[in-house]
Structure 1
Amino acid sequence: MSGLVIRGGDLCSSAVSGSFDLRCEHGKIVAIDREIRPEPGDRVFDASGLLVVPGLIDVHVHFRDPGSPERESFLTGTAAAASNGVTTVLEMPTSDVPVTTAARLERRGRHLSGRSFIDFGLYAGAGHSSLDEVESCARAGAIAFKTFTHRPQPSRAAAFEGMWAVTEPQLFQTMSAVAATGRVHAVHCENDRLLEHFAAESADRPGFGERHREARPPVVEDSAIAMVGSLSLTTGARVHLVHVSTARGVDLADGLRRAGADISVETCPHYLLLDQDTLDRYGSFAKCNPPLRAHDVRRSLLDRLRHDGIDIIASDHCSYTTEELGHHAEDPCGALPGLPGIEFLMPSLLTIAREPDQALVDVIAKMTSRPARRFGLEGKGDLVVGNDADLAVVDPRAAVPFAADAGFLAQGSRNAVYLSEVDLRGRAVATFVRGNAVFSDGAVVGSPGHGQWIRGAGTGRSPR
């Protein structure tokens, strides 16, 4: 049987690091050795001088297909993911029709099957008004659940219906319902009452950036993390804290873990690479929730990454049209939050790994083996015989300068102007999903029907 042999690469994963050849058959890794002799009919990929890493797993994306294809579709989003070594995405449930019922989950999964270049899983939303649907969503294959601890803006309420819990009793009930399924419970932590307080306090601040960050200071996030973590001790919820932006938030989670809470911590490249000066320069094009923090907060977050306080890195990819971002350029309250990042994940990771004392293998693990363990993605996330042949071959020295007129694959990538001043290096040369090339020689070469829907089944393990 013909297979794929990747020769001469520098393998970098949790299980193996160093110069090895790798052989794949039937979509699986079947051999890793110092030298593998190709057999007749084999495809051979020369990876000399290049990195070979497990395909990245992005556990936090917003493609919003089919509701807003002008912002992002699954075709454009997964093509962009494939172009930078991402082989699995987990999509959040916020949409024009929020995924809060089993029927909606099934409908969305069927719609996306045949529209994805890479493998994918789907979150379901959980909130105080959708408790009756949690168990059925788990049975239908929700990979995990998502809850917000604050109310959405009135203009976006429809997309977030059924996935927020504001008061402590609401959150306790929601976490209990999700805990009963055994699935991971991803929580967006911002305290609703403090948001109201600080929004009123910051209304007269000058400038877009100052108004936005003063409306959402670190205590808004940190206090919600403390509440969610404390409730997890009683409910047994397997909490995943999304897009944590402060070292104090990481420390709170770590303390709760020591007390017995099952908590994993996620952050995003933009919190590790950018700070509030970027928000001041680019306004609505650099708005995210929580906001970009001060320079010293960013450095402290990098320190927690270095010392393993952070389990997972994810893009939180979120696209809008240029017109939408420009519409509220002077109004941080009305401007849409979220940054498009999936097309820049690989160079962002390798740039982060160049920071002092940041080990490349540890940074890579936070987008491969760690998320695979946490979300129960069996056979993914590491270079191990028997695992899926999800692989990225990477040129770690290739510069990836941002240019608004570049030929981006993701709809929103042209709006990632906040990366203009970041020295990004590291580009995927080829990406393989289950042994089949989906990106090679600068072009997407896979079929949009190749990606498989991964339904949640197990409970996964601690990422540590």
Structure 2
Amino acid sequence: MSVLIRNARLVNEGRVFEADLRIRHGRIDAIASSLAHLPGEGLLDAAGQYLLPGMIDDQVHFRDPGAPHKGSFATESRAAVAGGITSVMDMPNTHPPTLTLEALEAKEHRAAHCSRVNYGFHFGVSHDNLDTVAALDPSRVAAVKVFMGASTGNMLVDDLPALERLFRDCPTVLLTHCEHTPRIREREAQWQARFGDAIPASEHPAIRDAEACYQSSSLAVSLARRYGTRLHVLHITSARELGLFQPGALAGKPITAEVCAHHLYFDDGDYAALGHLIKCNPAIKSRADRNALRQALLCGRLDIIGTDHAPHTWDEKQRPYLQAPSGLPLVQHALPSLLELVADSLLPLPMLVEKTSHAVAERFAIDQRGYLREGYWADLTLIERLAEPRPVAADPILAHCGWTPFQGRAFRHAVRSTFVSGQLAWHAGQVQDDCQGLPLRYRRG
């Protein structure tokens, strides 16, 4: 279809400017100060609202396959387009895990039938598939993911010889979840001795503390420097870790780092009200850590913002501390929560677009996405500036789990429309279920 978006304020490549934008055959056909409305063409008046490249979320857990009671590509992709996310990269710790090419193909097949967003997949690492990882076609996967902290099944890799081999032989970008498991296990035992089964949720950042993160992330960075690995460290949560990463623009960096929306929004003062609803790994830490993460975005030590969307059921989250799973449903509200930083003048809007779209496309070499450029795929998000903050409770929760950690909050911006590969996926509070996302392609040899 062809659609003309008029009177928009485009945010792209460091600029905010007024223009019209035409979508045709799934791509951005033209961007100009004034475009004529063609016969039979759809028309959307942006009325001065911001038009952004859609957020590319490089880490989601859509729970598909293996946990339909938590979510699926069908349910979670609907929540994603409602939140202005147009592309996702799914993590490998599903059931079965993405440790073989057969498992990867099965996930691609599932997403091709039901995903409202564009999709890619990270390949997992275990002690048993290092030969498969080394032989991967780099154009086939978004990246390779290793859990250097706690994970499920056999996906925890904390044996140094195995890690050395992985960092040496990985043929593409290597993602790491960094927490030092022995320290965490030791502290869990100490806290259980103090509290029994009634460990307060507020103790989570003390158990999974900054030292546990630093011990693991510093090892990852040192290995990457030794072997020349293209390393991307996920969900940084502590001020101490920031010194491991270089400030400045992403271009040319072999080692990059990421922060998640919830670590920029919440701090340890929120456990009293939200409890296990904000229990995640790595943990949400102190306000000082949160503020340091915000500052690190501005200087470029943190290159990308993701979500780590990881839904669990409400009942699972009500269990005692050691049984309550870690993870939050985030894709529907991540971008509105990040726009709160813009509204508070803590983060320039062009920089938010850089961290959620441009930099993700560059780090993962995604072909023709992540920018408002003629000829690129039309992955777009139209952002409405609200006259009054809108309570989160005013809208339905689209994630399958049916709850959000942002309960009781209100946002000053809302996602009015989302286009995925030129298709209207979300508009005026409704998911367009005839939209079908496409597989991401990568510019790699």
Instruction: Give the TM bin, normalised by the shorter chain.
Output: over 0.9
The residue identity in structure 1 corresponding to 2:10 is L
C-alpha contact (below 8 Å) 2:267/2:286 kept by paired residues: yes
Correspondences of 1:94-105 after superposition (within 5 Å): 94-105=93-104
Provide closer, same or farther for how the CA distance between residues 177 and 128 of structure 1 changes in structure 2, counting only shifts above 3 A.
farther
Map of 1:21 onto structure 2:
20
Q: Does 1:189 find its partner at 2:178?
A: yes
Map of 1:462 onto structure 2:
none
Map of 1:237 onto structure 2:
229
The whole-number CA distance in structure 2 between the counterparts of 1:81 and 1:250 is 29
Correspondences of 1:295-444 after superposition (within 5 Å): 295-326=287-318, 328=319, 330=320, 332-397=321-386, 399-403=389-393, 406-412=395-401, 414-416=402-404, 418-444=405-431
Map of 2:113 onto structure 1:
114
Provide closer, same or farther for how the CA distance between residues 191 and 386 of structure 1 changes in structure 2, counting only shifts above 3 A.
same
**Where does the alignment leave 5 or more consecutive residues of structure 1 unmatched?**
460-464
Provide closer, same or farther for how the CA distance between residues 142 and 274 of structure 1 changes in structure 2, counting only shifts above 3 A.
same
The whole-number CA distance in structure 2 between the counterparts of 1:281 and 1:48 is 38
Q: Per-residue displacement from partner, 1:333-392 (whole Å, max 9, x unpaired)?
A: 221001110010221121122234421110121111010011111111111112111111
The whole-number CA distance in structure 1 between the counterparts of 2:253 and 2:335 is 31
The residue identity in structure 1 corresponding to 2:91 is M
Q: Does 1:50 find its partner at 2:44?
A: no
SS of 1:408 mapped into structure 2: coil
How far did 1:261 drift? 6.8
Provide closer, same or farther for how the CA distance between residues 52 and 75 of structure 1 changes in structure 2, counting only shifts above 3 A.
same
How far did 1:201 drift? 3.0
How far did 1:435 drift? 1.6
Q: Per-residue displacement from partner, 1:14-35 (whole Å, max 9, x unpaired)?
A: 1642111111222111211111
Q: Per-residue displacement from partner, 1:31-52 (whole Å, max 9, x unpaired)?
A: 1111111121211110013110
How far did 1:422 drift? 3.8
The whole-number CA distance in structure 1 between the counterparts of 2:6 and 2:224 is 46
Provide closer, same or farther for how the CA distance between residues 173 and 255 of structure 1 changes in structure 2, counting only shifts above 3 A.
farther
The residue identity in structure 2 corresponding to 1:103 is E
Provide closer, same or farther for how the CA distance between residues 249 and 34 of structure 1 changes in structure 2, counting only shifts above 3 A.
same
Alignment RMSD: 2.2
Provide closer, same or farther for how the CA distance between residues 278 and 123 of structure 1 changes in structure 2, counting only shifts above 3 A.
same
C-alpha contact (below 8 Å) 1:436/1:446 kept by paired residues: no
SS of 1:318 mapped into structure 2: coil
Q: Does 1:134 find its partner at 2:126?
A: no
The whole-number CA distance in structure 2 between the counterparts of 1:130 and 1:264 is 25
Provide closer, same or farther for how the CA distance between residues 278 and 438 of structure 1 changes in structure 2, counting only shifts above 3 A.
same
How far did 1:135 drift? 3.9
The residue identity in structure 1 corresponding to 2:368 is G
Provide closer, same or farther for how the CA distance between residues 28 and 371 of structure 1 changes in structure 2, counting only shifts above 3 A.
same
How far did 1:151 drift? 4.1
The whole-number CA distance in structure 1 between the counterparts of 2:370 and 2:139 is 24
The whole-number CA distance in structure 2 between the counterparts of 1:39 and 1:211 is 60
How far did 1:137 drift? 4.3
How far did 1:171 drift? 1.2
How far did 1:7 drift? 0.4
The whole-number CA distance in structure 2 between the counterparts of 1:43 and 1:248 is 51
How far did 1:410 drift? 1.0
The residue identity in structure 2 corresponding to 1:452 is L
How far did 1:129 drift? 2.4
How far did 1:193 drift? 2.3
The residue identity in structure 2 corresponding to 1:364 is V
The whole-number CA distance in structure 2 between the counterparts of 1:255 and 1:41 is 49
How far did 1:131 drift? 0.3
Which among 274, 277, 286 is matched to residue 278 of structure 2?
286
Map of 1:75 onto structure 2:
74
SS of 1:138 mapped into structure 2: coil
Provide closer, same or farther for how the CA distance between residues 250 and 396 of structure 1 changes in structure 2, counting only shifts above 3 A.
farther
Map of 2:192 onto structure 1:
203
How far did 1:66 drift? 2.4
How far did 1:81 drift? 0.7
The whole-number CA distance in structure 1 between the counterparts of 2:29 and 2:373 is 8
Q: Per-residue displacement from partner, 1:200-229 (whole Å, max 9, x unpaired)?
A: 333345542343222111011012111100
The whole-number CA distance in structure 1 between the counterparts of 2:370 and 2:295 is 24
Q: Per-residue displacement from partner, 1:73-111 (whole Å, max 9, x unpaired)?
A: 111111111112111000001111000011110111112
The whole-number CA distance in structure 1 between the counterparts of 2:41 and 2:115 is 26
Map of 2:164 onto structure 1:
172
Aligned-residue sequence identity (percent) comes to 29
The whole-number CA distance in structure 2 between the counterparts of 1:278 and 1:451 is 35
C-alpha contact (below 8 Å) 2:12/2:371 kept by paired residues: yes
The whole-number CA distance in structure 2 between the counterparts of 1:116 and 1:443 is 16
C-alpha contact (below 8 Å) 1:145/1:185 kept by paired residues: yes
Aligned length: 440
The residue identity in structure 2 corresponding to 1:445 is Q
Higher mean alpha-carbon deviation, 8-17 vs 134-143, is at 134-143
The whole-number CA distance in structure 2 between the counterparts of 1:104 and 1:188 is 21
SS of 2:282 mapped into structure 1: coil
The residue identity in structure 2 corresponding to 1:428 is V
Q: Per-residue displacement from partner, 1:398-419 (whole Å, max 9, x unpaired)?
A: 634232x85221113x332x32
The whole-number CA distance in structure 1 between the counterparts of 2:157 and 2:272 is 31
SS of 1:68 mapped into structure 2: coil
TM-score, normalised to structure 1, is 0.89
The whole-number CA distance in structure 2 between the counterparts of 1:49 and 1:101 is 48
The residue identity in structure 1 corresponding to 2:246 is D
